């Protein structure tokens, strides 16, 4: 394999691993803040115990997320130095904002939240967790803004003297229409992940306690956690659908070949059907090798434009249009295949959508079995909760893979309504000074280290999840200025 292939594999491995942790940190920080707010307003001990219980799990996830995220930025300067040279003037701005504004906000107030339980007034301490939550959501915005520029470059012009894209409007970069539709989708996904996490663990403990002793004093607390998570899942799930629909529509305008590949749409159709199942050669590169066997008539036209009878361009028509506008061969004289990998785009798009069904099933089952102050004690509920826990993580990861792999062969996709000069093929983004051996060595090292970190992450999350919430403290006066004891965590 060449350095380009290895660099892509390395970035894919490290990015997907990091992105497994990111949605949980974003969503759980807000949910923990809501739990602590509920305790602050009601004085109910169960909210304090839930805050500290899920707060421990948040700390574990946050620490691993920081450790894995640092590697990403080093890769831009090493494996992808030509990409950084070309877009550094633009791409570096939102990343710098993320570090200087969001990350420092997160890290500063996370420390105050951890160690300020018995030292800060309750109102001030509550503000620290909300500032942490604000920091995580701000961080996501700046990262999405940077990535959205790669999907749809705006606010920049090409300088032929330096051979670089240079920013001329930072506001246009930060308010990129792609960012404005992608960000709500990412945030709602984060809440879906966190809601499933809170609900799944709450259901596990509720069923366990209910089957052992119907009079267990902790049952109301875990029922509250399960129902709280379930409602978050319902609201977030609706937001995911709405924001995903908006993102699909703008993607059809900006990157029509990506969405055509996601649907295995070979020929232009009016109206176009949404493919539920297509068959063909595994890894087929020729769209004609794929045949749709099950589809919903007109659905793709509606998803693309909002009109059930609209025309949607197919891959066989889009390829020559791309060739006409961006060229048939690259600077090395190699033929450019603008069609993304059909196997990856088609199935990652469907897995992203399909795995969310588990979340819907868990949320509805919890709300039904715990209605009228009942406690779920069915064994299948516990099984459903455990099985559902990883599903939104996987769905989010498949969605990220689809977004990035579907952009190929571009690392910076062209803006169909902007300058034809601002785009970059992935082939020319890789460093010319880093050999395949060097990339392979670092990839092996990172993969092994990340595997070890993954084991530690899982064991820590599992350990503290199955340990349950700490025992109830003696009755506490909510008007006191301090909380009963600091947040404990075994490092």
pLDDT at 490: 40
Share of the chain above pLDDT 90, in %: 47
**Mean pLDDT over each residue of the chain, to the nearest integer:** 88
Q: Which residues, including other chains, have CB under 8 Å from residue 450's CB and lie 6 or more apart?
A: 13, 14, 17, 68
Local confidence band at 487 (pLDDT 50, 70, 90 cut-offs) = low
**Per-residue model confidence (pLDDT) at position 387:** 93
Q: pLDDT tens digit string along 30-52?
A: 999 999 999 999 999 999 999 99
412: three-class secondary structure by DSSP = strand
Q: What is the predicted pLDDT for the residue at 473?
A: 64
- Cα 17 to Cα 19: distance, rounded to the nearest angstrom: 5
pLDDT value of residue 186: 95
Which parts of 255-355 fold into alpha helices (H)? 256-262, 299-305, 315-326, 342-354
Is the pLDDT reported for residue 64 higher than 90?
no
pLDDT of residue 230: 95
Sign of the CA dihedral with 151 first, then 156, 161, and 164 last = negative
**Residues, the chain, total?**
491
107 alpha-carbon distance from chain centroid: 21
d(CA 209, CA 109): 35
What tokens appear for 153 in the block? 């470059």
Per-residue burial over 194-225, b if 16 or more Cβ lie within 10 Å, else e, is: bbbbbbbbbbbbbbbbbeeeeebebbebbbbb
- Report the SS3 class of residue 50: helix
pLDDT mean over 378-406: 92
CB 417: neighbour CB atoms within 10 A? Answer: 9
Of 482 and 262, the one with more pLDDT:
262
User: What is the pTM assigned to this prediction?
Assistant: 0.91
For 353-377, the pLDDT digits (tens) are: 889 889 999 999 999 999 888 888 8
- Neighbouring-strand partners of residue 278: 292
What pLDDT, in 10s, does the model give residues 280-337? 665 566 676 777 778 888 888 888 888 889 888 888 888 888 888 888 887 778 888 8
The pLDDT of residue 491: 31
* C-alpha–C-alpha distance, residues 214 and 431, integer Å: 63
Q: Is the peptide bond before 271 cis (omega within 30 degrees of 0)?
A: yes
Q: What is the pLDDT of residues 241-269, one digit of tens each?
A: 999 989 988 988 889 898 888 888 888 88
pLDDT for 20: 86
Write down the pLDDT at residue 194: 96
Residue 218: which of 200, 228, 205 has the closest Cα?
205
What the block records as the tokens of 463 is 């350990």
Pairing of strands 290-296, 274-280: antiparallel
Which tens digits make up the pLDDT trace of 80-109?
A: 999 999 998 898 899 889 888 888 888 899
Integer Cα distance of 469 and 487 in angstroms? 12
Q: What φ, ψ does residue 131 adopt, rounded to 5°?
A: -70, -35
Percent helix, percent strand, percent coil in the chain, to nearest 5: 70, 5, 25
pLDDT of residue 280: 67
Residues 6+ apart with CB under 8 A from 147: 182, 403
The predicted pLDDT at position 420 comes to 67
Q: What is the pLDDT of residues 397-427, one digit of tens each?
A: 999 999 999 888 999 999 887 766 789 999 9
Domain ranges of the chain: 3-253+354-467
| Distance (Å, whole) CA 128 – CA 350 | 39
pLDDT of residue 74: 81
What is the per-residue pLDDT for 477?
A: 52
- 3-state SS, residue 335: strand
Which neighbouring-strand residues pair with 178? none
Each residue's pLDDT tens digit, 440-478? 998 999 889 888 988 999 999 999 999 988 887 655 554
């Amino acid at each position: 394999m060449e350095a380009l292939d290895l660099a892509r594999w390395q970035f894919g491995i490290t990015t997907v691993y990091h992105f497994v942790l990111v949605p949980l940190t974003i969503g759980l920080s807000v949910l923990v803040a809501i739990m602590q707010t509920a305790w602050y307003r009601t004085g109910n001990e169960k909210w304090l115990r839930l805050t500290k219980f899920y707060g421990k799990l948040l700390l574990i996830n946050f620490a691993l997320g920081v450790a894995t995220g640092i590697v990403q930025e080093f890769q831009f300067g090493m494996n992808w130095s030509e990409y950084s040279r070309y877009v550094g003037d633009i791409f570096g701005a939102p990343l710098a904002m993320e570090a200087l504004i969001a990350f420092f906000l997160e890290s500063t107030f996370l420390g105050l939240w951890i160690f300020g339980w018995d030292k800060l007034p309750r109102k001030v301490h509550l503000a620290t967790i909300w500032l942490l939550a604000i920091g995580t959501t701000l961080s996501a915005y700046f990262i999405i803004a940077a990535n959205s520029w790669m999907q749809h470059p705006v606010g920049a012009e090409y300088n032929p003297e330096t051979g670089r894209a240079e920013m001329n409007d930072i506001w246009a970069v930060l308010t990129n229409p792609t960012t404005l539709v992608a960000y709500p989708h990412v945030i709602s996904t984060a809440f879906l992940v966190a809601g499933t996490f809170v609900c799944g663990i709450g259901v596990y403990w509720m069923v366990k306690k209910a089957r052992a002793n119907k009079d267990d004093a902790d049952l109301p607390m875990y029922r509250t956690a399960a129902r709280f998570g379930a409602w978050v899942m319902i609201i977030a799930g609706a937001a995911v659908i709405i924001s995903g629909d908006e993102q699909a529509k703008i993607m059809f305008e900006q990157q029509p070949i990506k969405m055509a590949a996601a649907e295995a749409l070979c020929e232009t159709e009016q109206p176009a059907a949404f493919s539920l199942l297509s068959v063909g050669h595994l890894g087929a590169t020729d769209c004609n090798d794929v045949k749709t066997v099950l589809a919903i008539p007109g659905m793709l036209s509606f998803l693309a434009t909002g009109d059930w009878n609209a025309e949607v361009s197919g891959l066989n028509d889009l390829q020559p249009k791309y060739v006409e506008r961006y060229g048939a061969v690259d600077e090395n004289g190699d033929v450019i295949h603008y069609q993304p990998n059909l196997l990856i785009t088609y199935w990652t798009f469907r897995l992203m959508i399909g795995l969310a069904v588990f979340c819907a099933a868990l949320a509805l089952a919890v709300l039904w079995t715990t209605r009228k102050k009942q406690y779920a004690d069915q064994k299948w509920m516990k099984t459903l909760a455990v099985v559902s826990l990883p599903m939104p993580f996987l769905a989010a990861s498949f969605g990220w893979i689809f977004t990035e792999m579907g952009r190929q062969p571009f690392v910076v996709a062209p803006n169909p309504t902007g300058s034809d000069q601002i785009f970059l093929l992935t082939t020319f983004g890789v460093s010319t000074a880093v050999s395949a051996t060097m990339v392979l060595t670092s990839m092996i090292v990172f993969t092994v280290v990340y595997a070890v970190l993954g084991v530690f992450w899982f064991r820590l999350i599992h350990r503290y999840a199955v340990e349950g919430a700490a025992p109830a403290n003696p009755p506490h006066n909510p008007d006191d200025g301090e909380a009963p004891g600091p947040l404990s965590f075994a490092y």
